[in-house]
Structure 1
Amino acid sequence: MDFILMTEGDTPVGLTHEHRYRELVEEVLLAERVGFDAFGSSEQHVALGTASVSAPEVLYPYLMALTSRMRFIHLVTLLPTRMNHALRVAERVATEDILSNGRVELGTGRGNTTLALRAFEVDPSENKAQWREGIELIRSAFLNDVFSYVGEHYKVPPRSLVPKPLQGPYPPISAAAGSPSSVETAASMGIGAIMGGLYLGFDLVENMVKLYDDTLAATNHPYPITPRKMVAVAGGMHCAETTAQARLEAKPLFEMAKLSTDAYERLSKLSKDYAYMGAVKDIDFNDEEYMFERSQGFMVGDPEHCIEHVQRYADMGVEALVLRVDSLPHDQLMRSIELFGKYVIPRFKHPRNVVRSADDVLAEIRAARPAHEEALRQFNDTHNLAQKETVR
């Protein structure tokens, strides 16, 4: 399983964006040192709280120059035509791929806030089709030299992409998939799906993972595929020395979750493509037990408790976890990243190297003795019989 650190530069009242960005850089560098596989941020515009990263394509190259191993995934690049022309996205990602030596991935979406959609004059009833055409145009530009495209929203004459990306056939592509319909669409297109984000529980996500597998296997794919089952822990991951401490420190994340989903019900009424978001109205964001343990929106606890949560995803067949680590004081975020990297990630990346207690090892040694003694007895019997045959 891959572990992806996600932060959006959520900046508390009284702090400057400049200071929060400096903190963000420290968090990403620590994450690389302790074993996270990738870093990602969403693309949020004119946001009120919860996020300040509006230009990840500018932030990422700065971080790429400071890192050597960690990958960078856009979580997500918005593909309504008024926000990002798909051809410009292809050019930017190809440039990032070169500068990072092949460490960039493209997550995509269509926008989930009325603030941003209205600011850019995006029609919620059209942006899903724009997103889909954008994916097709980007893949064609990456894959074909010369490429062209004709659709409802894009009509690009024969051209050659400059520059070309390093990764072949192209950098991995995925899509935000908050509904079963979106999961089916991503799987049918042969791209990764970033599932979760609605706080509706583990069963929904587990069903989405199965739906992704079934749809991917049942579809013929004209383009090279970049499949991956990804799940977002959108409310937040927070790891502390004890679960009680982690829960106490993480309570402010509930307010972030309420604020970030505030537009979902309004969006659900603007377009049938967003209808599934209306389910958020039934979530009780004040039910601490549900939110922390059953909503699927959080992973909060001591390292052992976090390991239990990760194992639940591993048992579903999830291939990557997107862990939002944000909206808390910088020192708490740094400690959370360090604890998770030191004690949780190795249990899934390098389990044979994790040091166990002497008592556990000794108990296994004692349990293994009877089988060893039986094997030794059989060996001696066979050896003695062979010696007798030799004497004869």
Structure 2
Amino acid sequence: MRFIFMSEGETQPGHTHEHRYRELVDEVLLAEEVGFDAFGTSEQHVAIGTASTSAPEVIYPYLMALTSRIRFVHLVTLLPTRINHALRVAERLATEDILSNGRVELGVGRGNTTLALRAFEVSPAENKAQQLEGLEVIRRALHNDVFSYVGEHYKIPPRGLVPRGLQKPYPPIHMATGSPESVRAAAELGVGAIVGGFYLGFEFIENMLRIYDDALAGATHTYPLQAEKIVAVAGGMHCADTRDEALRWARSLTDTVALSTDAYQRLAKLSSDYQYMGAVKDVDFTDENYMFNDSAGFIVGDPDDCVAQVQRFADLGADSLVMRIDGLPHEELMKSIEMFGKYVIPKFKNPRAVVRDSDDILADIRAARPAHYAEVEAFNNSKQQVTETATAGESR
């Protein structure tokens, strides 16, 4: 399983975005040090109270120059034509691929806040089609030496992408998926699916991943396959010394959840393409037990709790976890990142390297002794029989 640290640079009242960005840099550097596979942030415009990351394509190259191993995933780049022209996305992605020495990935989406969509005059009834056309433009530009495209939203004459990136065939591409229809579309396109973020529970996640697997198996793909099941733990991950401490800090994260999901119900009323988002109206965001244990939106607790919660996602077949680690004081975020990297990630990446309790090892040794002694006895008996046979032969 891949572990992806996500932050949106949430900035508390009274602080500055400058200071928060400098904290974010330190958090990414620590994440690389302790074993996270990737860092990602969303493209959020004119966000109030939840995110400050409006230009990931500017943030990433700075971080790429400071790191050497960790990958960078756009979570996600918005493809409505009034926000990002698909050809510009392809150019930026190829540039980042070069600057990172092949450590960048692209996630695409169409926007999930009315603040951003209305600011850029994006029609909620048209941006789904714009996203799909934009994704096709990006893949053609990255895959072909010369490409062109004619559709409702793009009409690009024959051209060649400059620059060309490093990864072969091109950087991995993923698509944000919130409904059975969209996760099926991602599988049929042969790109990764990013699921989650609706707090509808593990059964919902399991169903989405099953749909992806079934559709992937039945599809024929034009482009090189880049399949991956990515689950977004959007409420937050917080790992602390004790369960009580982790819960005490995590309770404040539910305010951000309520603020972000409020936009979902408004979008559901604006376009049939967003109707599925209205399901969050049935979620009781004040039910702490549900939110932290059953919503599939949080990983919260001491290291053992976090291991058990990650295992639930692994058992469902998730290939990667995107975990939002944000919205708390910088010192707490750093502690959480370090503890998760030190005590949780190794349990999934290299479990045999994790030092076990000596009493457990001694118990296994004691349990193995009878079989060992039986093997020794059988060996000695076999050896004695060979000796007796040889002696009998010599006497004859």
Category of TM-score, reference length = shorter chain: over 0.9
Partner of 2:228: 228
Partner of 2:98: 98
**1:67 matched to 2:67:** yes
- What is the distance in 1 between the residues matched to 2:143 and 2:387? 70
Q: Deviations over 1:118-173 (max 9, x none)?
A: 11111111111111111111111011011111111111110000001100101000
Partner of 1:327: 327
The one-letter amino acid of 1:341's match is G
Shift of 1:370: 1.2
- What is the distance in 2 between the residues matched to 1:200 and 1:87? 35
Partner of 2:115: 115
Superposed, 1:1-392 pairs within 5 Å as 1-391=1-391, 392=393
Shift of 1:388: 2.2
- What is the distance in 2 between the residues matched to 1:130 and 1:382? 76
- What is the distance in 2 between the residues matched to 1:215 and 1:390? 67
- What is the distance in 1 between the residues matched to 2:55 and 2:47? 13
Shift of 1:390: 2.4
- What is the distance in 2 between the residues matched to 1:191 and 1:20? 33
Q: Deviations over 1:252-309 (max 9, x none)?
A: 1000000111110110111111111001111111111111101111111000000000
Shift of 1:380: 1.6
The one-letter amino acid of 1:327's match is G
Shift of 1:387: 2.0
- What is the distance in 1 between the residues matched to 2:83 and 2:383? 79
Shift of 1:373: 1.4
Q: Deviations over 1:330-362 (max 9, x none)?
A: 111000001000000000001011001100000
Shift of 1:384: 1.7
Query: What secondary structure sits across from 2:105 in the alignment?
Result: strand
Q: Deviations over 1:70-116 (max 9, x none)?
A: 00000000001110000000000000000000000000100000010
Q: Deviations over 1:350-387 (max 9, x none)?
A: 10110011000000001111111122222222222222
- What is the distance in 2 between the residues matched to 1:359 and 1:338? 27
- Identical-residue share of aligned pairs (%): 68
The one-letter amino acid of 1:5's match is F
- What is the distance in 2 between the residues matched to 1:390 and 1:153? 90
The one-letter amino acid of 1:51's match is A
Shift of 1:180: 1.4
Q: How many residue pairs get matched? A: 392
TM-score by length of 2: 0.98
Query: What secondary structure sits across from 1:164 in the alignment?
Result: coil
